Chains A and B, each alone.
Chain A
Amino acid sequence: MKILLKGGRVVDPAASRDTVCDVLIDGAVVEQVGSGLRTDGAAVVEVPPGCVVCPGFIDMHVHLREPGQEHKETIATGTTAAVAGGFTSVACMPNTQPVNDQAGTTELILARAEAAGQARVYPIGAVSRESKGKQLADFAELRAAGCVAVSDDGQPVADALLMRRALEYASSFDMLLIDHCEDPALRGGVAHEGYQASALGLRGLPGVAEELIVERDVTLAGLVGAPVHIAHISVRGALRAVRSGKERNIPVTCEVTPHHFILTDEMLKNYDTNAKMNPPLREAADRDAMLQGLADGSVDAIATDHAPHHYDEKAVEFDRAPFGITGLETAVALSLDRLVQHDVVSLSRLVELCSTNPARILGVAGGSLEVGSPADLTVLAPDARTIVDVKTMRSKAKNTPFDGWELHGGVAATIVSGRVLYVNDAVTGAEVFASIGESIPGESAK
């Protein structure tokens, strides 16, 4: 089955392409990209005006909660949320129950993802057994089972020796090491340490707890010559450490979340537990530094740190609420509004941050529309209006501070492996994408 997406703006930084042209999909792969492509036997879709065809977006940092915490999210609901948010792939953190530190758990995750048939799932294995920071997990086994990276996520690797060995060992299997950087001795707070936390009587999480470990990781990556990826960077000092590493040609990359480039600790004023996450919302100077990093190239990727929690878990005192907010269904609209509409980055740079770079950093397929690439496409509608409404979200969880926000920009459609998995009714003309699904026997476009 061939589909021809005709006459849309195609933005594919990996091919240095930003032009109006056609994309021909053959089954699950991209067959051809160019102008005036022949239409023999292909279902033709005229891309609606204002829509932009991009390589599928990849969220390299999500929590799908399965196995073990299915009351928060499942692989099925999380990957459905992903495609509704414009993501064709997600990489899921290992802090499940049990921790994803062995092949059996990895295989279960992949089997559930396959059964769900929504976004692609790339499991991330644990650095240490049960993420306890004592003994390395079996990286070769995890790699063989399908893990693309290792991380102890919310339990940052505290021991510098373990970190060094993990970097050395992981690189031999082409596995990326992703670190949540936070000095454990400086933990214990619930909000960014600074004026707001002091005024509200909330225990502080100092920015230097992040900066110190980023400095350490960059230094160790330089020592052993293995790549390290810094998860959800949030303070200017940590970004400075990443920049400094890149200047020294150390293989360090980093991601930033939409909430860290949009919100500040001013959000805490009414003790809203949906403004509680780790790393916490920082001060304005940090937020501005994140925007600068996105613009100047020192930030490599946008990731959501999608952290679904049950309503009951967040309906408690601020001190007792779990860290984390959802992100899959808001990130793209937020990025289009706050980055592209506000001229922080070009649309092409946004695609780099959400697709090209995550694919390259994780070493996975996609991130490009080159011939032979998977037919994973995110169709953006940069001029559409999006109203964030938790009631219509696909995720099981509703813990977002962005509920009710009106945003300039949205997702028109999401195509994974040639299958149209999401069409946004609110985008004018997007229904043409639904017709593709209908034209494929046995496929439905929902």
Chain B
Amino acid sequence: MGPFDTSRVAVPGEPGATPPKLRTGLRSRHLLSVGDLEGDEISLIFDTAEAMKEIELRPIKKVPALRGKTIVNLFYEPSTRTRTSFEIAEKRLSADSLNVAVAGSSMVKGETLFDTARNLEAMAPDMIVLRHQASGAPFQLASICRAGVINAGDGMHEHPTQALLDGFTIRAHKGQIEGLKIAIVGDLLHSRVFRSNLLLLRALGAEVWVCGPPTLIPPGIERFGVTATTRLDEAAEGADVIMMLRIQRERMLGHFVPSLREYFMVYGLTVERVERAKPDVIIMHPGPMNRGVEIASEVADGPYSVMLDQVANGVAVRMAVLYLLAGNPDEM
């Protein structure tokens, strides 16, 4: 438990709540990497997200916690789920948010990321939520911005709010994360979801297994503190959580896999493979999923699938992160 316990998290403006107090337990004004979060900060985000979930149940799903705060969603890559989730979270907290979608092609001939960011900065936003295809772009942005920066996915590097919502979902289903066997399966090499989840789950004491074709296991995996295998049955055996990663359909081109058909035969999550896991296993996927490629439809639609919980929790977790970052009076 962090500096706050669940009962003491006040959502400002809520009738009957303890007097509204803008405070934060996050040490940085940015969220760039899960690796920057201490264990107590992760707990604080989870506990705050619990409080945020309650807002969804109300007839009027809106609180004034971020009233008067300007948040720019700067997306250099197409995104439906993440952008929508951030946007809903921002609106529920009464922030003034706007979406800037930069097409990939204009990036090549047009303004640089940093010039775009400086121009946005001139309009004094409080937060910039950045999705970018280049690993590290949010770090570079944070180094020149007064606004707080949230990494909404950078290349193959990290996707911190995805990992936080995954961890929150696991905690909701399992009560705790410490000691669970969690298997992450699929295209590990190109996955920012994998990298952020690895940092989060290890920090919270899970036993992490990773599984994928040898061509898609990152070099140096032995230093990641995981058990790596190319046999899905080994990874699934006795697992509490199986987290499937998306494989892009064009991976045949770099000789990573021969065909999607063969990929499904060897690495696809089928009902038979799920049966090796614990009876109460939960199956996760960050979306968008390829049915019949990394996951059988029977599994995706099965009783152990928590994918829609992940999406629902995404809003609450992003509300928590935005509130804890943008609600920090010391930085404003």
Contact = CB atoms under 8 A, between A and B. Distances in A.
Interface of A: 193-204, 206, 270-271, 312, 315-320
A55 B137 CA distance: 46
B135 A198 contact: no
Given A201-B155, A316-B114, 16 more contacts: A194-B220, A197-B219, A197-B220, A198-B220, A198-B221, A200-B136, A200-B157, A201-B136, A201-B157, A270-B136, A271-B136, A271-B140, A315-B114, A316-B112, A317-B140, A318-B140
Interface string B10-46: 0000000000000000000000000000000000000
Contacts of A194: 219-220
Interface string B134-171: 11110110010000000000111110000000000000
B299 interface: no
Nearest to A321: B134
Given A200-B157, A315-B114, A317-B140, A195 B135 contact: no
B202 to A, nearest CB: 13
A319 B108 CA distance: 12
Nearest to B220: A195
Given A199-B195, A201-B158, A317 B218 contact: no
A317 B133 CA distance: 9
8 contacts: A193-B219, A198-B220, A198-B221, A201-B155, A201-B192, A202-B135, A203-B156, A271-B136
Contacts of A201: 135-136, 154-158, 192, 195
Interface string B175-191: 00000000000000100
A317 B223 contact: no
A212 B27 CA distance: 47
A204 B136 contact: no
Given A199-B195, A316-B112, A316-B113, A204 B139 contact: no
Contacts of B114: 315-316
Nearest to B255: A185
B194 to A, nearest CB: 10
B135 A319 contact: yes
A312 B189 CA distance: 30
Interface residues of B, number: 26
Contact of B139 (A197, A206, A270): A270
B132 interface: yes
B254 to A, nearest CB: 9
B203 to A, nearest CB: 15
Nearest to A270: B139
Given A315-B114, A316-B112, A195 B223 contact: yes
A132 B293 CA distance: 40
A194 B224 CA distance: 11
A198 B155 CA distance: 12
B136 A198 contact: no
A61 to B, nearest CB: 28
Contacts of A206: 219
A197 B189 CA distance: 10
B135 A200 contact: yes
Ranked nearest first, the 6 interchain pairs of A and B with the lowest CB-CB distance are A195-B220, A201-B157, A271-B136, A317-B134, A201-B156, A198-B218
Contacts of B113: 316-317
A319 B218 CA distance: 18
A374 B112 CA distance: 49
Interface string B182-220: 000000010010010000000000000000000000111
A198 B219 contact: yes
B163 to A, nearest CB: 14
Contacts of A317: 113, 132, 134, 136-137, 140
Contacts of A202: 135-136, 156-157
A315 B141 CA distance: 11
Contacts of A315: 112, 114
A135 to B, nearest CB: 30
Given A200-B135, A271-B135, A195 B192 contact: no
A194 B113 CA distance: 28
A318 B134 contact: yes
A206 B218 CA distance: 12
Nearest to B223: A195
A13 B136 CA distance: 47
B219 A195 contact: yes
Nearest to B141: A317
A193 B156 CA distance: 14
A152 B154 CA distance: 35
B238 to A, nearest CB: 27
Contact of A320 (B134, B158, B218): B134
A206 B113 CA distance: 29
Interface in B72-130: 112-114
Nearest to A188: B254
A203 B134 CA distance: 10
Contacts of A204: 219
A199 B155 CA distance: 12
A267 to B, nearest CB: 13
A319 B134 contact: yes
A314 to B, nearest CB: 11
